[in-house]
Structure 1
């Protein structure tokens, strides 16, 4: 963690070296420290991974010194902020007076000077090592900069084709009864890859009315499994409402009753989870199927009949070599000089697909020289226990990672086993934890996404879901890699999984809480010296708000992710944590924010989730002081009123929110030029408008959207007050910026003839038209429109006839039509679009369904069996 600690300290020094309350001597010392930290960062940036053994001891010294220096500096900064944030009368006992702050700073400054001397000493050692040529410098490599993670990351099935055919045979047995198929094999053999390939197979999917996937995992909790099943069955991609175990079980059974279903229960470790859920799966006597993956033969024996168990074997040498070549060279030919050494490396992978793809990811991203491949071979050796072989290999692969990726990778150990985390959330957390090195030409989030793609290319992070625009939506980590992350993070004093509450290490930075804290609070009463070190706390268990008051002891906390905890009001005690950069909370009562939220002057991300009550009664009311928080990057709510800046502050000082990239969902907001100037870098915007029948649409300045030059995602919802049957249509001069990639419109009631406004958006890839967004009986596309559109959703419309030909929508991959009762048919020309993969229909006319099925038969006659028509009976959202 040497690099991560230096990077964080460097950003803190960048902040403190701006106009700040320091003496000239202190400023000189801080400037000198900043120079040394920058030097060490640059050194690690160019240091070859082959130096890892020589630098191990030095990196430990760097980490400890950088952490301690930052603790002292940030503790002093937080004291100053708390002292300045309130008047003399309302200061609490925890706030220090100015004299006390100065006095304590001078005491700490003496210790800081000793730490600075240590950092200078380390820098001198580095210089001497370089002079003696003991350190190899990283050589530029073309392969390390390229990325192939944008290729929708289809599962590698090399060597698994035979397995796939055997499982398909088991599923296709002419038995009308419910059949449970067990896939058995050791960790890393490819069980999940095989199951996911089957689950996503279009022909298999078309054979079932409904499908669901849930990961059980070693850390099994019945309620979490039931919730996962319900979310998958309902097609939800957000946190569902709270339900009891009994209610959840009842709902699962009701959904599956009378339907032909395919259920995947992935990673089952014990028979108890199966025994608890098997009664939820009705035998409808219609050839429903369940696939269960497990490492343990005993589980398969108790869950399946002998003839429905499939034991996976290791890859043979031929398929293993093909997989390794594909991982390293893609579709390019393997140069002959790598054949012999490559096959020797393969032998050490013991036929495990996971080991092959991990080593392949390393070789793909590293320099393509025979000498380096020999170096890799010498550092991976066959160990009898395959799990420890993989862990040993991962340890070596980790040592070969560029320094800037190490903290990001180890952070994946913070999330629970088999947990899918959204890309947008993960990158925000990396930024808040200061794992990302600033780049003047890019935003921190853009750099974070590059780091993520790099780790995906190395096969260290798995992509679980891709968007139709080719972006990563959710990702996870293999449980064997997570085991490594936990062990390495504990060794590095980096993170702690509070499942069993082991001893807290000095310098611990990240805490992940996966358990009920009710009876364990005393063990979390950390000492004053230790509590300064915690920078991130993430809850994955539904603890009570009364059980987390210990959080306020962590004075330097940067990240508080408490979405699993249901608060009845905003926890004002968190406003004392002025170092917070990321806060995510759930509460469902009166969503009024205290004006004192402005005390969180470092806050970058604020996320509020109303939990199960997602209605008009869960509206957030932001205080005017929000316009004083210049560091804000992401503001996310389900519904919120954002006061207009000049109206709210009435002459008080407010600052442009130049860092703001995400804003949503705000209600009835006016987009004047004054506001546009305040948010010049907005990339994602979600807005809602309630029409009262009196306000003119023009007063909201929708035509100004075109001036949001960085905007890539826009969601606009328009709806009438309950006493108005129909609101007025939006004005035709509705305009959009050219960078827009994803657009959702609802309730606009614009004529189809004005669709050219959208068709001319050159970068538009996802378009969702909901609840009469456009109206009229006929929509006729024009040539040259929607050249890059990949997903089109039309939900609830009076459209009757749709005129399109094969030259229109040339990039379309998915068409979704819902509640289109009047639409007579889908034009047959839609089937001629070469990129089209799926037509999804929900509650549409019989003639429309028939036209879609005709298109499918035509495509099958042409050999296009990958194309499918999906009929849904319940409406589920398509996330872009």
Structure 2
């Protein structure tokens, strides 16, 4: 009855440090006060339980009103070990109930969380690719493996076995974490079942029975190539490394390896021995020096995911990662993620020749430079969902050479990021093109170009668009007035670094907008006051915008608060000079837009805000 439909949804979370300390204090002392000498130590103990009530209660059980200060300090140093020494069996028995209640198809997915270091932020995109490569996801006819993996992850989250850390701009889960205590459960169960072995020290010898180890996670700070000689005859299927090394090691001899996640290891050149590991499904590594993938990589017929980044580049000319064209003829590939990848010409002739392969499984092609979007090439990728490309424009090359209008052939495309860079006059070249974008597109990023209002209408008419980012970007004119019926599902809008001066819009143009971010919009006069009528709007974020824009945002917030809407927040992320001077003049200019009593009150609040910034 009293729920406010305009306020954000409340997500149940772990206990705050304050609530953790309250629970710990009540567990130990009941209604009595905690001695002053123990309060700071007790607060640290509560914080180290990281919000898990079960851990707090069990820790409180280790202490009593009569415990000495030395006992508190000892437990504060390592809460997890203290529980393990005293109530470890009871604690793990309680947590194990959650594990044993899991359906069998989720148990491997949960145990796999143990491969990541303690307090590690796990990115969902990486985790899902690893689960698929490991074979944990069983196919269903009506869903892709990645979609099923997302369902599995949602189930673990709903069971409170993992926690959401960050979300994308449209609300999708971006990263997760696992509580230390639950991770300990993962590691213990994984070792009992010979599912996983952690290497936390520089010891290069596996525990007894090492040939039965299927997965190894390296988490120590030093590295010795002798490690490879120890495990090359094992039954190792997965090797994941989470510490940074630099190596010129060229051969990797794991005959049965399926997963090699070595993104933290910088190889001076591509380790050629990898191409002999025909069972590989997942490769992630980092190349320094000259970046070049060998033609022989096509021998990896089972490869699903290939991630190659660049690091420690002393010569800017060497930052390109040269890709062989036959990499787009590997039928099992699902995800290509590169850093400044480039296909040398003649690219088209090699890809679309008589032995062309339709990449039915390919879903991701990311960070490729000057990729020619011809109809012939894009038709070989019918199920592509994510495309990130960039173009460096030479005066001798016309934009039309790249045929951007062919994006429409990617009917399943969900995410498109396109960056344009001109070497002649910097960013901001007008693109003489008729945009033709697929109707399923949900996320669109354009950077470094000028676009006509006609093409903005094409973007606004996309029925499923939820995220729009316009960076280093200019419109054809200084006034933007969207048409009614555009941007019907847009949730997040970013406009950065342009010369827009006036913006005429209201809730009918952006009916579902949740987050508006304006950055370096120095010429914009104000945010349309009608934005306050957008029921879904939760955040207006401003960075290095004019003080009149700041004042207009605060006016909108103040008016909504007067109407009982406490859900709208305004965040200003800059203390720039234009907030330190001429605030009265800018504010009066903004106030002239609305002169009622509510606006005057809001103006006073805005002025106080500006004074505080000064």
The 2-side partners of 1:584 and 1:711 are apart by: 24
Give the Å deviation of 1:853: 1.9
Q: CA–CA distance in 2 between the matches of 1:864 and 1:675?
A: 50
Q: Is the 8 A contact 1:659 1:681 kept in 2?
A: yes
Q: 2:256 aligned to 544, 553, 556, which one?
A: 556
User: Which residue matches 2:421?
Assistant: 719
1:741 and 1:835 map into 2 onto residues whose CA distance is 18
Q: 1:163 to 1:564 in 2, by over 3 A?
A: closer
Q: Structure 2 vs 1, CA of residues 763 and 863 (structure 1 numbering), >3 Å: closer, same or farther?
A: same
Q: Distance in 2 between matches of 1:164 and 1:862?
A: 37
Q: Encode CA deviations 1:667-695: one digit per residue, 9 max, x unaligned.
A: 22222221122100000000111111232
SS in 2 for 1:565: strand
How far, CA to CA, are the matches of 1:391 and 1:165 in structure 2? 24
Match of 1:191 among 44, 51, 71: 51
Matched, 1:823 2:529: no
CA–CA distance in structure 2, aligned partners of residues 736 and 726 of structure 1: 22
Residue aligning to 1:265: none
Give the equivalent residue in structure 1 for 2:223.
Answer: 518
- In the TM superposition, residue 394 of structure 1 has moved relative to its aligned partner by 2.5
Question: Shift of the alpha carbon at 1:780?
Answer: 0.5
Superposed CA offset, 1:715-769 (max 9, x none): 0111101x33566422341111111110000122012353211111111111000
Match of 1:535 in 2: 237
For the residue of structure 2 that corresponds to 1:678, the secondary structure is coil
Structure 1, unmatched stretches of 5+, are 1-150, 167-179, 194-295, 303-310, 312-382, 876-880
Cα drift, residue 665 of structure 1: 1.2
SS of alignment partner, residue 566 of structure 1: strand
Q: Relative to 1, partners in 2 of residues 1:668 and 1:446: Cα closer, same or farther, differing over 3 Å? A: same
- 2:378 is the alignment partner of 1:673: no
Q: Distance in 2 between matches of 1:692 and 1:552?
A: 41
Match of 2:271 in 1: 571
The secondary structure found in structure 1 opposite 2:210 is coil
Q: What is the aligned partner in structure 2 of residue 379 from structure 1?
A: none
| 8 Å Cα contact 1:775-1:799 kept in structure 2 | no
Distance in structure 1 (CA, Å) of the matches to 2:52 and 2:412 = 39
Structure scoring higher RCO (CA < 8 A, sep ≥ 6) equals: 1
Structure 1 CA distance for aligned equivalents of residues 461 and 226 of structure 2: 62
- Per the normalisation by structure 1, the TM-score is 0.56
Which of 48, 73, 96 aligns to 1:298? It is 73
1:654 and 2:356 are equivalent in the alignment:
yes
Q: Map residues 704-715 of structure 1 onto 2, 5 A cutoff.
A: 704-715=406-417
| Alignment partner, residue 619 of structure 1 | 320
Aligned length: 527
Once the two structures are TM-superposed, the CA of residue 813 in structure 1 deviates from its matched residue by: 1.1
Matched, 1:505 2:210: yes
Q: Is residue 298–residue 329 contact of structure 2 (8 Å, CA) maintained in 1?
A: yes
Structure 2-normalised TM-score?
0.79
Which whole-Å CA distance do the structure 1 matches of 2:572 and 2:176 have between them?
Answer: 28
| Higher mean C-alpha deviation, range 591-600 or range 772-781 | 772-781
Please tell me the root mean square deviation across aligned C-alpha atoms, in Å: 3.3
> Residues 394 and 653 (structure 1 numbering): CA distance in 2 closer, same or farther, change over 3 Å?
same
Asked whether 1:156 is paired with 2:16, we answer: no
Deviation at 1:424, TM superposition (A): 0.4
Contact 1:672 1:704 in 2 (8 A): yes
Aligned partner (choices 453, 457, 474) of residue 175 of structure 2: 474
Q: How does 1:13-32 map to 2 (within 5 A)?
A: none
Aligned residue for 1:690?
Answer: 392
**Is the 8 Å Cα contact of residues 21 and 42 (structure 2) preserved in structure 1?**
no
Partner of 2:449: helix, strand, or coil?
coil
Q: CA deviation at 1:544?
A: 3.4
Q: 1:730 to 1:192 in 2, by over 3 A?
A: farther
* Map of 1:96 onto structure 2: none
Structure 2 contact 493–516 (Cα < 8 Å) conserved: yes
2:436 to 729, 735, 743: 735
Match of 2:115 among 414, 421, 428: 414
**CA distance in 1: counterparts of 2:285 and 2:200, whole angstroms:** 21
CA apart distance, 1:470:
2.3
| Counterpart in the other structure of 1:849 | 550
Q: In structure 2, what is the Cα distance between the partners aligned to 1:874 and 1:753?
A: 37
Relative to structure 2, which stretch is displaced further, 565-574 or 660-669? Answer: 565-574
Q: How does 1:76-87 map to 2 (within 5 A)?
A: none
Cα 1:711/1:152, change in 2 over 3 Å: farther
Q: Specify whether residues 190 and 476 from structure 1 end up closer, same or farther in structure 2 by C-alpha distance, changes over 3 A only.
A: closer
For residues 153-177 of structure 1, what are the alpha-carbon distances to aligned partners after superposition, in whole Å with 9 as ceiling and x for unaligned? 82337899966999xxxxxxxxxxx
Task: For residue 562 of structure 1, give the secondary structure of its aligned residue in structure 2.
Answer: strand
Higher helix proportion (structure 1 or 2): 1
Q: How far apart, CA to CA, are the structure 2 residues paired with 1:747 and 1:522? A: 48
Paired position in structure 1 for 2:513: 812
The 2-side partners of 1:805 and 1:391 are apart by 55
What is aligned with 1:838? 539
Q: Structure 2 CA distance, aligned partners of 1:696 and 1:587?
A: 32
Q: Who is 2:247 aligned against?
A: 545
- 5+ residue gaps, structure 2, are 1-7, 24-39, 54-70, 577-614
3-state SS, counterpart of residue 298 of structure 2: helix
Pairing 1:848-867 to 2, within 5 Å after superposition? 848-867=549-568
Deviation per CA, 1:200-259, whole angstroms, max 9, x where unpaired?
xxxxxxxxxxxxxxxxxxxxxxxxxxxxxxxxxxxxxxxxxxxxxxxxxxxxxxxxxxxx
Which residue matches 1:291? none
Change (3 A) 1:616 1:441: farther
